[in-house]
């Protein structure tokens, strides 16, 4: 599974407004005259955009607003192609870049292909689709607006957006506005509720409504912007003026892996307790992340603006009511004690679990937990993901963030997502003493650990009618993947990311003594000599050359040894995007899926290799 921050940043909103708007109407209007056709600048997004008041006045559909005596030019894209009147639906822009675990910002590809002219065309389409006036508002620093994108989710951003709405409302003679927000754009829309009384319908689709909940789910104490005190809509509900005409609708997919249904439901509960008229609708999103409810949100906003009754809106859009409330108790699967004590699960307890298999290895019984989904389809080849170690590499004795905050519910949502990406069965499996599996996690990387997982795969193969497995593993999980590939004949693709695939070399590179304990571990490098070519098996090593946890040299040594043996193996160097240059969990899973879909090695390398490897097998230059 991926780290939530990565879940947050990896392809979060790639199904963008551009794609959605393109579906709103098949006829493409000609670009509006005088709108700029030059694409939005990635460099301006990263460093901030500057526009003078005079320059702003010369732009079509832009307003100059000031907060704390500092002015900004806010761009908007307005159309009455679908109808005129005194009221308009306003969509507040969402995120346009991803942020990795090192805090590095990367604009989404779709954003740098758009232009003001393209945005105006989209507004024309949406106005016609919704049959009423439509406005797309660019938040500061985005879509042609001046300001700093890095300062999103601040009080100044919300004040600037509110001031822009006031100016737009006055310019076009609107008496009332209806707000729609999608994803992080819903954050601004919800925050505006505490500042404005001229808004009647507010529809928040897959929206960031409880920042503190989202941060808690990922073990963070600050926003990805570095702000420790971002504006949090859930904390503002008591400031919203209660009025008879206000209607708040929160549209949620229960399986959302970008912004959890739990965090959205937290806002609904809190707003309801504050006496606000809020209705939550559970709907099925169109994308693999169960997140893209933009079209549903905008359509619901238009219906609400036209006075359609609440029960009719619910009946029209609600399509995915969860069996279990999103905010039901869902405790972490791992406790700190698993690092120093074994996990005990009896055979009877194991057989009562929904997703677990009981296996016997070396005369002892083990309960192996797994999570499986066929949301993407049914076939006899499954992709299996094996997680890394539980402990924090820099703080021994503590769980890493992924392990500390992963729950059964989140794990199931993750495998559902990956199943949709793959188009077939997807399984995540717990190693010894991890994620609910019994055993002692201190015995990781032992021959026993690999044999337990091998036995579990035998059971899963029979239970679910599977013929072959494609494997992906991260770090210690990649060690398990290597061992499985060396022991089984039913493995297709085996992707080993940031993997401990040369145990003794890795220990040596860390300056550790090669003692009897290290020698007793299963070292995949030592077993390469006994491997024979196997039809259909494809091994892939994926490494960041600057990996600070598992040396690049040790990973390349395994690939070189396999290649010297005449075994087909691909070694791809890629940027991990984490502080330690170690986390390639998302990339490994995507690569395993592409490999399972028969993408050849050249295509895999072209898609995933984005970082040069050192000429020698030496250690990273990163100290």
What would the pLDDT profile of 185-205 be if each residue is shown by its tens digit? 999 999 999 999 999 999 999
pLDDT at 278 over 70: yes
pLDDT attached to residue 410? 96
pLDDT attached to residue 394? 86
- Please report the domains of the chain, with CATH numbers, ordered by start residue: 4-317 (3.40.50.1820), 336-608 (3.40.50.1820)
pLDDT attached to residue 18? 43
Confidence of residue 520 (pLDDT cuts 50, 70, 90): very high
Confidence of residue 483 (pLDDT cuts 50, 70, 90): very high
pLDDT at 367 over 80: yes
Q: What is the mean pLDDT of residues 141-168?
A: 97
pLDDT at 158 over 80: yes
Q: What percent of the chain is modeled with pLDDT above 70?
A: 93
Q: What are phi and psi of 486, to 5 degrees?
A: -85, -15
What is the tens place of the pLDDT at every residue in 558-570? 999 999 999 999 9
Length of the chain: 623
- Secondary-structure breakdown of the chain: helix, strand, coil percentages, each rounded to the nearest 5: 35, 20, 45
pLDDT attached to residue 4? 35
| Residues contacting 292, CB < 8 A, separation 6+ | 13, 15, 20, 206, 285, 286
Q: Are strands 134-137 and 70-79 parallel, antiparallel or unpaired?
A: antiparallel
Distance, CA of 119 to CA of 123 (rounded, Å)? 6
What is the tens place of the pLDDT at every residue in 298-310? 999 999 999 999 9
pLDDT attached to residue 615? 79
Q: Terminal CA-to-CA distance of the chain, rounded, Å?
A: 28
Q: What is the mean pLDDT of residues 516-520?
A: 95
Of 51-65, 234-248, 394-408, the least confident: 394-408
pLDDT at 618 over 60: no
Distance, CA of 474 to CA of 498 (rounded, Å)? 6
pLDDT attached to residue 33? 52
Written as six digits, the tokens of 268 are 């609904």
Q: What is the mean pLDDT of residues 217-221?
A: 90
Strand ordering across the sheet containing 70-79: 62-67, 70-79, 134-137, 87-92, 176-182, 199-205, 247-252, 278-282
Confidence of residue 616 (pLDDT cuts 50, 70, 90): low
Q: What is the mean pLDDT of residues 276-288?
A: 98
CA 441, distance to chain mean position in Å, is 27
Please list the residues that pair with 136 across neighbouring strands.
77, 91
Distance, CA of 51 to CA of 69 (rounded, Å)? 15
pLDDT, averaged across the chain:
93
Written as six digits, the tokens of 111 are 């954003």
What is the tens place of the pLDDT at every residue in 6-40? 333 333 333 344 444 444 433 455 444 578 999 99
Written as six digits, the tokens of 87 are 């009221």
Written as six digits, the tokens of 457 are 């795969």
Q: What is the mean pLDDT of residues 453-471?
A: 98
């Amino acid at each position: 599974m991926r780290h939530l921050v990565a879940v947050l940043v990896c392809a979060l909103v790639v199904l963008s407004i551009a794609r959605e708007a393109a579906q709103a109407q098949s006829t493409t209007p000609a670009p509006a005259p005088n709108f700029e056709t030059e694409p939005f600048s990635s460099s301006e997004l990263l460093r901030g955009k500057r526009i003078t008041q005079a320059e702003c006045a010369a732009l079509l559909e832009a307003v100059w607003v000031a907060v704390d005596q500092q002015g900004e030019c806010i761009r908007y894209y307005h159309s009455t192609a679908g109808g005129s009147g005194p009221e308009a639906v306003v969509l507040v822009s969402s995120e346009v870049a991803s942020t990795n675990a090192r805090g590095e910002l990367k604009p989404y590809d779709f954003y740098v292909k758009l232009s003001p002219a393209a945005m105006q065309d989209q507004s024309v389409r949406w106005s016609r689709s919704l049959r009423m006036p439509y406005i797309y508002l660019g938040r500061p620093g985005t879509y042609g607006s001046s300001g700093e994108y890095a300062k999103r989710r601040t009080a100044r951003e919300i004040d600037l957006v509110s001031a822009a709405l006031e100016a737009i409302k006055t310019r076009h003679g609107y008496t009332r506005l209806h707000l729609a927000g999608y994803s992080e754009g819903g954050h601004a829309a919800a925050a505006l509720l505490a500042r404005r009384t001229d808004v009647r319908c507010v529809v928040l689709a897959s929206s960031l409504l409880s920042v503190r909940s989202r941060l808690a789910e990922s073990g963070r104490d600050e926003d990805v912007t570095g702000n420790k005190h971002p504006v949090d809509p859930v904390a503002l509900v008591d400031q919203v003026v209660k009025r008879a005409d206000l209607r708040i609708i929160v549209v949620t997919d229960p399986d959302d892996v970008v912004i959890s249904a739990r965090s959205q439901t937290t806002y609904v509960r809190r707003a309801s307790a504050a006496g606000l008229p809020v209705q939550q609708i559970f709907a099925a999103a169109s994308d693999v992340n169960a997140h893209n409810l933009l079209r549903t949100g905008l359509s619901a906003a238009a219906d609400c603006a036209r006075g359609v009754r609440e029960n009719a809106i619910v009946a029209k859009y609600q399509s995915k009511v969860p069996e279990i409330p999103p905010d039901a108790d869902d405790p972490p699967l791992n406790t700190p004690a698993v690092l120093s004590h074994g996990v005990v699960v009896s055979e009877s307890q194991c057989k009562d679990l929904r997703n677990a298999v009981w296996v016997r290895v070396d005369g002892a019984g083990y309960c192996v937990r797994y999570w499986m989904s066929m949301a993407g389809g049914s076939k006899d080849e499954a992709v299996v993901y094996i997680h890394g170690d539980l402990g924090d590499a820099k703080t021994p004795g503590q769980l890493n963030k992924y392990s500390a905050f992963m729950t059964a519910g989140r794990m199931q949502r993750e495998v559902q997502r990956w199943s949709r990406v793959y188009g077939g069965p997807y399984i995540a499996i717990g190693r010894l003493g991890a994620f609910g599996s019994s055993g002692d996690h201190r015995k990781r990387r032992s021959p026993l650990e690999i044999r337990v997982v091998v036995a579990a795969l035998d059971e899963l193969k029979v239970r679910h009618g599977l013929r072959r497995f494609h494997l992906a593993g991260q770090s210690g999980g990649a060690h398990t993947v290597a061992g499985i590939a060396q022991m089984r004949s039913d493995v297709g693709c085996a992707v080993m990311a940031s993997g401990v695939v040369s145990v003794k070399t890795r220990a040596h590179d860390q300056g550790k003594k090669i003692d009897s304990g290290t020698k007793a571990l299963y070292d995949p490098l030592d077993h390469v000599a006994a491997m024979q070519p196997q039809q259909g098996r494809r091994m892939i090593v994926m490494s960041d050359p600057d990996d600070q946890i598992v040396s690049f040299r040790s990973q390349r040594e395994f690939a070189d040894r396999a290649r010297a043996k005449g075994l087909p193996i691909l070694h791809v160097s890629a940027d991990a995007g984490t502080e330690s240059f170690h986390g390639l969990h998302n990339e490994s899973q995507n690569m395993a899926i592409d490999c399972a879909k028969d993408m050849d090695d050249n295509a895999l390398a072209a898609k995933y290799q984005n970082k040069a490897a050192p000429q020698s097998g030496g250690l990273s230059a990163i100290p």
